[in-house]
Structure 1
Amino acid sequence: MSRFSEVKDLVLGLEEDFVKFYEKGNQAAGTRVRKGMQDLKNIAQDIRKEVQDKKNAG
Structure 2
Amino acid sequence: MNQKYLDLIEFLKTLEPDVEKFYTKGQSAAGTRLRKGLSELKKLAQDFRNDIHC
* TM-score (norm: length of structure 2): 0.90
Relative to its length, the structure with more helix (as a share) is 1
Deviation above 4 Å: which 4+ runs of structure 1? none
Q: Percent identity?
A: 42
Matched residue count: 53
User: Can you give the 5+ residue segments of structure 1 that lack an aligned partner in the other structure?
Assistant: 54-58
Higher relative CO (Cα under 8 Å, sequence separation at least 6) belongs to 2
CA RMSD of aligned residues (A): 0.7
Decide which structure has the larger Cα Rg and report it.
1
- Unaligned 5+ residue runs, structure 2? none
The two structures have a TM-score, normalised by structure 1, of 0.84
